[in-house]
Chain A
């Protein structure tokens, strides 16, 4: 290797200028040496970050022309098909971006695609964190911040979708208003305050615009910054393997390896988004026409991340609605429209603490779980994904009904049943698969892996030769933690007295939950790596043939 290249004079100058003022050399080197573990699943959060950056860049561009105004005008712009049509200035200015600003159509499409990808990558990233137990101590707070980012991202997307004031976007606002009105006692007040009067009024778009480009992005930016500072400080989790322990992190250093890889990945993300915007049309508002409260088209779907709420609104029956003093309490709007959001975000936020309470595990975890090694958690996660997916599909039941020639109401009945049955089946099946995979892990640990080579022994017997797994595989398999709970300890202390905490109702609930959480797992107790008979078969075979 050649001699180290001299830093250019200008860079040295800047470096010293900054260090003279901030004393950064030591901190700087420490942070450039920060280690990022390698795994494809760690790139999911990166996609979310990069999409957010793309959203900021393209969003600023769009504000140069967009007019957040509901003033009614008669369109006489460049897009011929809508000339002479009454519309809001918001819609007209969006048409201007599409048909009078070069690249405007592209940037608007990039913005929309990036929003869809942003929420999608958030969801998949959260699933990764959930399934690998990366939310456990010490990272619970970062999980909560993540739930906050997810919540705001959905609202941010909904409000952005509403701004162009085209027919579907206005109908989205109408549904939002209908859901708000379902709130007992305060509903009509909240609606009046939000809309500045009755629906639609002429204030909701300026207000959503403020939320969409100022308040919510600022909150997102702050939460994302906090998310990164925390992960930077605590360092990433890593998957088990040789040398990867709760005390030591192994991976690529920030500089130069990770910086170049991550930089490249940003460009990949942006390229895919730009490619989609170029060739796959999304939200063609010029085809939908301006919003009017009197018209609607069928087959109307919201952006994908609102789909589960839309589906819930569709399949929830009005059976549980009731009236008090002549005022309706429409549970068919309240429960799916607001209750479900609460359940989703509340459940996500509570889980790390609930799991820690069940298991009594207060240790810090830096090595991620392999999902199979936490079968109940993984099963619950898949059950949640299934429920979400069923509701999401139900949000398109009219399309499904048409595509598969099923009667519309029948699809509703199917989804009403599936939302109860689906998650239960998903849980059971997932847990079984997890346990099966654990068994296979044990077999691999004991007998090595199946090499695919068939050998005939002198006795005529055919065997498949097993080979020893790599040290990394052995270490990864051996990392399997025992699923236990402190709630399952001795019922009584050494004097035979039942502990008072365990006798109380909460103690009993915790005990039974702990039992449910831990009862099924495949023990690796007493398993010695590569001690199994399959490996020795081959050896014996060789011995035998040598003897002959």
Chain B
């Protein structure tokens, strides 16, 4: 019987589970629809053929691996995208053949060689009997009483109280995953007088440069030189920044992500009424923030932060390709379509004494706490 010492091991996998006399299969004959011997024999041949194909596929895979080296001087290597593609197709193709062959062989085996089973077995009755339930409940509560948990409230309550602070600990421990927002989201590297450069270069921009742009638009970034780890704008750009960008002009991704602007040249006559209004907290109209018909807006969409990169010169519309928020560049970047909530913030610009476009000084009549439409500069 089950669990008997292994000394009595018979012929089956586990001792004792001998095959019933007079019954060959493991399941009742009525539930086992065996295929005729001929069908089985053909099935065996087809399955074996698939397994042979799979074997060849597997060998092909191993061969393909060594066909192209990873990087080499004169021989074709996978670093060349074209060769890499061949390598990928060979490796993947042979692997697929190997896997498919095994799958197909096993399926033929199950469908042709094995009987078709229609075995039945009962679904278990899931709820326990009332007696079992009663017995369990009785046992559980008696045990709880005996343990004192139910009868000794002082101990029970102090234990629960002891657990509470520990439950909070993992949450508290997460506090240092990041800083508090504070004023970080208000500051950008656009301090007064900061020059702008064409994005991806360190080339300063003159007003005339906009004329030669076919689309009348330039993506620009602030030119900030970092010195000794504290750049001109000490704006949460991430510590360790100085080490990474020790030499020359370099803007961190954090700074790029919030200071990238679109410079757009719009014929003066095309500006609409929105430009005569003032930004909240400021005392001059937006049109004064433009220079020579050039207006600067943040390129970061006010919806969820994609770069609003598409500009149509004829309609002066700025379109964010992610969710299609559309802003009217001639009208204070008002939202004209799509899900964005706010206009794109406008940056006051002018030229410095060398004639380069830069962030212009503004004279706020009162400190705008949260203007929503302008970017405060770093102190």
Residues of A within 8 A of B321 (CB): 296-300, 398
Q: Which residues in window 398-437 of A have CB below 8 A to B?
A: 398, 408-409, 412
A109 to B321, CA, bound (A): 27
Contact check, B123 vs A366: say whether CB atoms are below 8 A apart: yes
Contact check, A328 vs B92: say whether CB atoms are below 8 A apart: no
Answer whether residue A34 sits at the interface, using C-beta atoms and an 8 A cutoff. yes
Residues of A within 8 A of B332 (CB): none
Answer whether residue B70 sits at the interface, using C-beta atoms and an 8 A cutoff. yes
Residues of B within 8 A of A64 (CB): none
Answer whether residue B15 sits at the interface, using C-beta atoms and an 8 A cutoff. yes
Known: A6-B11, A267-B102, A271-B100. 12 other contacts (CB 8 A): A4-B19, A7-B11, A16-B14, A25-B16, A33-B121, A105-B88, A177-B304, A192-B184, A250-B120, A253-B26, A278-B89, A412-B338
Answer whether residue A228 sits at the interface, using C-beta atoms and an 8 A cutoff. no
Contact check, A328 vs B341: say whether CB atoms are below 8 A apart: yes
Contact check, B178 vs A106: say whether CB atoms are below 8 A apart: no
Contact check, B177 vs A194: say whether CB atoms are below 8 A apart: yes
Contact check, B65 vs A103: say whether CB atoms are below 8 A apart: yes
Residues of A within 8 A of B335 (CB): 318
Please, what's the 1-or-0 string for A1-35, where 1 marks a CB less than 8 Å from any CB in chain B?
10010110001100111011001011011000111
Q: A177-B305, A333-B304 are in contact. Are A197 and B13 (CB under 8 A)?
A: no
Contact check, B93 vs A102: say whether CB atoms are below 8 A apart: no
Chain B contacts to A: CB under 8 angstroms: 2-3, 5-6, 9, 11-17, 19, 24-27, 65, 68-71, 77-79, 81, 84, 87-89, 91-93, 95-100, 102-107, 109-110, 114-115, 117-124, 126, 174, 177-181, 184-185, 199, 219, 221, 236-238, 240, 244, 253-254, 256-258, 260, 299-300, 303-307, 309-310, 321-324, 335, 337-342, 369-370, 372
Q: What is the CB-to-nearest-CB distance from B79 to chain A, in angstroms, rounded to a whole number? A: 3
Contact check, A78 vs B79: say whether CB atoms are below 8 A apart: yes
Contact check, A23 vs B221: say whether CB atoms are below 8 A apart: no
Answer whether residue A198 sits at the interface, using C-beta atoms and an 8 A cutoff. yes
Contact check, B107 vs A286: say whether CB atoms are below 8 A apart: no
Answer whether residue A489 sits at the interface, using C-beta atoms and an 8 A cutoff. no
Which range contains the number of A residues in contact with the other chain?
35 or more
Answer whether residue A114 sits at the interface, using C-beta atoms and an 8 A cutoff. no
> What are 8 A-B contacts with C-beta separation under 8 Å?
A201-B254, A247-B122, A249-B122, A264-B104, A268-B100, A274-B96, A310-B323, A317-B339
Q: A23-B2, A332-B341 are in contact. Are A102 and B68 (CB under 8 A)?
A: yes
Q: What is the CB-to-nearest-CB distance from A339 to chain B, in angstroms, rounded to a whole number? A: 13
A403 to B323, CA, bound (A): 18
Q: Which of A102, A248, A264, A409 contacts B70 (CB 8 A)?
A: A102
Contact check, B100 vs A175: say whether CB atoms are below 8 A apart: no
Answer whether residue A541 sits at the interface, using C-beta atoms and an 8 A cutoff. no
Contact check, A175 vs B306: say whether CB atoms are below 8 A apart: yes
Q: A106-B91, A250-B120, A261-B106 are in contact. Are A296 and B185 (CB under 8 A)?
A: no
Contact check, A267 vs B99: say whether CB atoms are below 8 A apart: yes
Residues of B within 8 A of A248 (CB): 120-123
Contact check, A100 vs B122: say whether CB atoms are below 8 A apart: no
Ranked 3 nearest A-B pairs via Cβ: A278-B92, A178-B304, A264-B106
Q: What is the CB-to-nearest-CB distance from A223 to chain B, in angstroms, rounded to a whole number? A: 21
Q: What is the chain A residue whose CB lies nearest that of B259?
A: A294
Contact check, A260 vs B109: say whether CB atoms are below 8 A apart: yes
